[in-house]
Structure 1
Amino acid sequence: MLRALSRPATRLMERWLPDAFIFVIVLTLVAALAAIVSEGTNPVELIRMWGNGFWELLAFSMQMLLVLVTGFILASSPPVRKILQRLAGLATSRGSAIILVSIVSLAASWINWGFGLVVGAIFAKELARQIKVDYRLLVAAAYSGFVIWHGGMSGSIPLTIATPGHFTEDQIGVISTSDTIFSVWNLAIVAALFIIVPLVNRGMLPPESEQVLVDPAKLGNDAAPAPLPANATPAERLENSRLLMWAIGIPGVIWLALHFIGGGAINLNVVNFLFLFVGILCHGTARSLLAALDEGVRGGAGIVIQFPFYAGIMAIMTQSGLAASLSEWFVSISTATTLPFWSFISAGIVNIFVPSGGGQWAVQAPVMLPAAAALGADMPRVVMGVAWGDAWTNLLQPFWALPMLGIAGLKPRDIMGFCVVHLLITGVVIGGLLLLL
């Protein structure tokens, strides 16, 4: 049944889903038209909103580019690649390869979303070198694990409300992660996804006659750098010096230890710092590191050009009042019991236009929190409903897929047909459990 469902969805996406850059332009026009029609926004004022917000995500864009680059540096280092190769060796068939990449991606994304995106892509490529399996589904399976991230240890919304001084503390106080991320009902959703996502990916595996394979030679060169010649120049010796890399890598690791010992939190900057300096030590030489850097940067073009357009969309949605109107409508049809579910659905819709967990919480918190208080709804569940909704429609929104697709060498249309199937099934699972548990 899943194979029959995924086949037309894949064909549909391959035919009609344009490049991610075209997708973001269409979303911009849709958001602008909706703001004019439903909010009565003046077109001139709307253009001003869009242009003023266009560069608001520059720092975030650089952080995301570094997630891709530093994550690729670490994941492609000799020690990590050996671990991934050994893990890939556990796959003895096409089906086991799909299940294995799903589980690894789910686990890595639950630990940290950036780590999950990069490790999932690298591991998918490693499996493609060893097993003849549909490469599109392999990468889609790796990306499907990302649906779990906002219910995991790097979930930006639950971590925000657990931090003293957060912008809604006067309304809800500080809510511990034991009531959100590590609550029994949230862990039940996580456990259900760990079972369902791999099985759905396995069920979508096309027959061998319909597989789309990839030439392993096109997946990058894993050959070790040539040994240093006897007549190497001083510059070449510096590029191959392990001592030089240790001299800068060890202080970086010491800073990380001091940061965590001092109670420092995990955020994007810390994750990138970790990836970079552990990667420096794992590569051992500047020559090996720079080779990985060169390969990793190639996949970052989409991030550089598209994220400013998403910043413009976010400005339209927030400043025109469109995002708040969407949220308020869902609140109007809710009860104390159903508000977590409707917060999940509303967040899923808003996420298509505002694909940032922190940015989305800034938009929806002023609407959802008073509604939860007025209805007497369980506050942690309402908050996590927004978090899960944000993660859920990432399966349809190519914004977060760009880093993974850049590493894998694919386009959104190659995997989105499979992701649509996951969107339907995980939506039922997450939404249903938010209502039942």
Structure 2
Amino acid sequence: MLKMISKPAVKLVERYLPDPYIFVLLLTLVAAVAAIAVERQTPLAVLRFWGDGFWNLLTFSMQMLLVLITGFMLASSPPIKRILQRIAGKATNAGNAILLVTLVSLTASWINWGFGLVVGALFAKELARLVRVDYRLLVASAYSGFVVWHGGLAGSIPLVIATEGHFTADQIGIIGTGSTIFAFFNLAIVVCLFIAIPLVNRMMLPDEKDSVYIDPKLLDDQIEAPGRATRPAEKLENSVPLAWMIGIPGLLFLLDHFLLRGGGLNLNIVNFLFLFLALVLHRTPRSLLNSLNEAIKGGAGIVIQFPFYAGIMAIMIQSGLAQSMSEWLISFATETSLPFWSFLSAGIVNLFVPSGGGQWAVQAPVMLPAAEALGADIPRIAMAVAWGDAWTNLLQPFWALPVLAIAGLKAKDIMGFCLIQLFITGAIISVGLTWF
């Protein structure tokens, strides 16, 4: 049945979903018109919101570009290639490949979202080299595991409210991860998704006549092999001791961060880990630079699109549109149904404000008073917003850009399959938030 349903969904998305750049331009226009029509903002005010906020994600854009580049460099190192090949060798047919890539992506994303995005995409490419499988569904399966990230160890909203001095601390105090990430209802949702998502992906596997395959030769990363060093400069470029004298201290810093200082995973630490592992495992600076030249080709979408999303976020937040959307959706909620409406409102807002931390800043002033007035469980409401933020990433190409860049596909190639997962995971999360 899922195979039958996914076929028209894939065709629909392939026909009508534009390139992510066109998508972000259309979202910009929708947000601007809505701010004027709904919030009664003047065109000049909206123009100023947009322009002033356009570069607010520069740091995050660089972080995301480095997720792509450092992850690619690490995976292209000889030792990691051998590990990926060994794991991929466990898949003996197309169905096994789909299940395996989904489980690897789910696990990696639950640990850290940046780690999950890169590992899932790179592992999908490795499987496609070894197994004849629909490449679109394989990459969509890798991306679908990303939906669990906000319920995992690096979920930004549960980590924010567990941190002393967070911006709502005076209102709700410090809420530990035992009440959010490791609460029964959240773990139950995660377990259900770990079971359902791989099975749904497997059941969507198209018949051979409807499948789209890729020539494994096209997946080979054309990284130039270092030649024989003759000049002093070339000897430095191919110096193993030079690379290790910088790479090993970087890894020692990470040991100090995790073991002695008790630090956790965040995006900067993940990028630091990827970079210095890559530096050590490539052995020479020249090998790393050759890998970098190949990795950078996929970063164009991130560079050009993320500033537009920053502008959209500024319009949504500064105009009051995001708050109005949230207030309307929870206006008819009860104590029991508030988690569901919080989840749904967060999913809608996420299409325009694709940032977990930014979304909590927008929705917390609305959701927390509503939860207090209705007597709802505040940790559950916070996680409802977190899950809503993660859920519609299955439809929002913002987060798929690194995956698509690594895989060499376009958003329309995978979003039809992700659309099916959107409805199924939405039902599971809704039930979990309301009844578990």
Q: CA deviation at 1:90?
A: 0.3
Q: Which residue does 1:241 correspond to in 2?
A: 239
1:156-179 CA-to-partner distances (Å, cap 9, x unmatched) read 111111111111111111111111
Query: What's the counterpart of residue 170 of structure 2?
Result: 170
- Kindly report the root-mean-square deviation, in angstroms, between the aligned alpha carbons of the 2 structures: 1.2
**Counterpart in the other structure of 1:401:** 400
CA contact (8 A) 2:35 2:321 kept: yes
For 1:333, the equivalent position in structure 2 comes to 332
> Which structure 2 residues correspond to residues 255-270 of structure 1 after superposition, within 5 A?
255-260=253-258, 261-270=260-269
Residue in 1 aligned with 2:147? 147
- Following the alignment from structure 1 to structure 2, what is the Cα–Cα distance between the partners of residues 68 and 317? 28
Partners of 1:221 and 1:414 in 2: how far apart? 21
| CA deviation map 1:55-88 (0-9, x unaligned) | 1111111111111111111222222211111110
Measured in 2, the distance between the counterparts of 1:75 and 1:370 equals 46
Instruction: Report the Cα distance in structure 1 between the residues aligned to 2:161 and 2:202, rounded to whole angstroms.
Output: 37
Q: Return the letter of the residue paired with 1:312.
A: G
Give the corresponding residue for 1:122.
122
1:235 deviation in Å?
2.1
Distance in 2 between residues matched to 1:213 and 1:287, nearest whole Å = 34
Displacement of 1:263: 2.6
User: Match of 1:418?
Assistant: 417
2:312/2:352 contact within 8 Å kept = yes
Structure 2 gap ranges (5+) = none
Q: Aligned pair 1:290/2:289, yes or no?
A: yes
Q: Which residue of 1 aligns with 2:390?
A: 391
1:52 aligns with 2:41: no
Deviation at 1:234, TM superposition (A): 2.0
The corresponding residue for 1:355 is 354
**Identical pairs, percent:** 67
Structure 1 range deviating more: 255-264 or 119-128: 255-264
**Post-superposition offset of 1:223:** 7.5
| Aligned residue in 2 for 1:81 | 81
CA distance in 1: counterparts of 2:223 and 2:202, whole angstroms: 31
Distance 1:99 1:222 in 2: 28
Preserved contact between residue 76 and residue 122 of structure 1 (Cα < 8 Å): no
Return the letter of the residue paired with 2:121: A
Q: Which amino acid aligns with 1:265?
A: G
Unaligned runs of 5+ in 1: none
CA distance in 1 between counterparts of 2:121 and 2:201 reads 15
Aligned partners of 2:217, 2:153: CA distance in 1, in Å? 36
Q: Shift of residue 293 of structure 1?
A: 1.1
Q: Which SS does the other structure have where 2:38 is aligned? A: helix
* Preserved CA contact (<8 Å) 2:224 2:290: no
Q: How does 1:157-196 map to 2 (within 5 A)?
A: 157-196=157-196
Tell me the residue number matched to 1:232. 230
**What's the offset of the Cα at 1:222?**
7.0
- Structure 1 stretches of at least 4 aligned residues deviating more than 4 Å after TM superposition: none
Query: 1:97 — aligned with what?
Result: 97
Residue 66 (1) aligns with residue 66 (2): yes
* 2:214 partner amino acid: V
Contact 1:79 / 1:282 at 8 angstroms: preserved in 2?
A: yes
Given residue 306 of structure 2, which amino acid in structure 1 is its aligned partner? F
SS at match of 1:310: helix
Q: What is the TM-score of this pair, normalised by structure 1?
A: 0.97
In structure 2, what is the Cα distance between the partners aligned to 1:109 and 1:172? 28
> By how many angstroms is 1:406 displaced?
0.4
Report the Cα distance in structure 2 between the residues aligned to 1:78 and 1:49, rounded to whole angstroms: 47
Partner SS, residue 420 of structure 2: helix
Residue 46 of structure 1 and its aligned partner are, at CA, apart by: 0.7
Taking the aligned partners of 1:353 and 1:271, their CA distance within structure 2 comes to 26
Following the alignment from structure 1 to structure 2, what is the Cα–Cα distance between the partners of residues 284 and 375? 59
What is the match of residue 426 of structure 2? 427
Q: Which amino acid aligns with 2:410?
A: K
Structure 1 match to 2:309: 310
> 2:371, 2:381 within 8 Å by CA — same for their partners in 1?
yes
In the alignment, is residue 378 of structure 1 matched against residue 384 of structure 2?
no
SS in 2 for 1:39: coil
Q: CA deviation at 1:264?
A: 2.5
The within-5 A match list for 1:15-34 is 15-34=15-34
Per the alignment, residue 133 of structure 1 pairs with 133
Which residue number in structure 2 is paired with residue 35 of structure 1?
Answer: 35
Q: Post-superposition shift, 1:266?
A: 2.2
Code of the residue aligned with 2:238 in structure 1: it is N
Q: For the Cα contact (< 8 Å) 2:222–2:294, is it kept in 1?
A: no
Which secondary structure state, in structure 2, belongs to the residue aligned with residue 353 of structure 1?
Answer: coil
Report the CA distance between 1:258 and its aligned residue. 1.7
SS in 2 for 1:400: coil
In 1, Cα distance between the equivalents of 2:198 and 2:160? 30
| Kept after mapping to 1: 8 A contact 2:2/2:203 | yes
Partner Cα separation in structure 1 for residue 282 and residue 391 of structure 2: 35
Instruction: Tell me the TM-score normalised to structure 2 length.
Output: 0.98
Instruction: Name the CA distance, whole Å, in 2 between partners of 1:271 and 1:161.
Output: 22
CA contact (8 A) 1:110 1:116 kept: yes
Contact 2:110 2:149 in 1 (8 A): yes
CA distance in 2, matches of 1:266, 1:199: 29
Amino acid at match of 1:279: A
Is the 8 Å Cα contact of residues 245 and 285 (structure 1) preserved in structure 2?
yes
The alpha carbon displacement at 1:224 in A equals 8.6
Residue 212 in structure 1 maps to residue 202 in structure 2: no
In the TM superposition, what is the alpha-carbon distance from 1:428 to its structure 2 partner? 0.5
CA distance in 2, matches of 1:120, 1:420: 19
CA distance in 1, matches of 2:266, 2:115: 12
In 2, the alpha carbon distance for the partners of 1:214 and 1:171 equals 54
Deviation at 1:272, TM superposition (A): 1.0
Q: Cα 1:81–1:224, aligned 2, differ >3 Å: closer, same or farther?
A: farther
CA contact (8 A) 2:223 2:290 kept: no
Larger deviation, residues 265-274 vs 304-313: 265-274
- Give the corresponding residue for 2:156: 156
Q: Measure, in 2, the Cα distance between the counterparts of 1:111 and 1:349.
A: 25
Instruction: Tell me the alpha carbon deviations over residues 299-332 of structure 1, each in whole angstroms, 9 at most, x when there is no partner.
Output: 1100000000000100110011110011111221
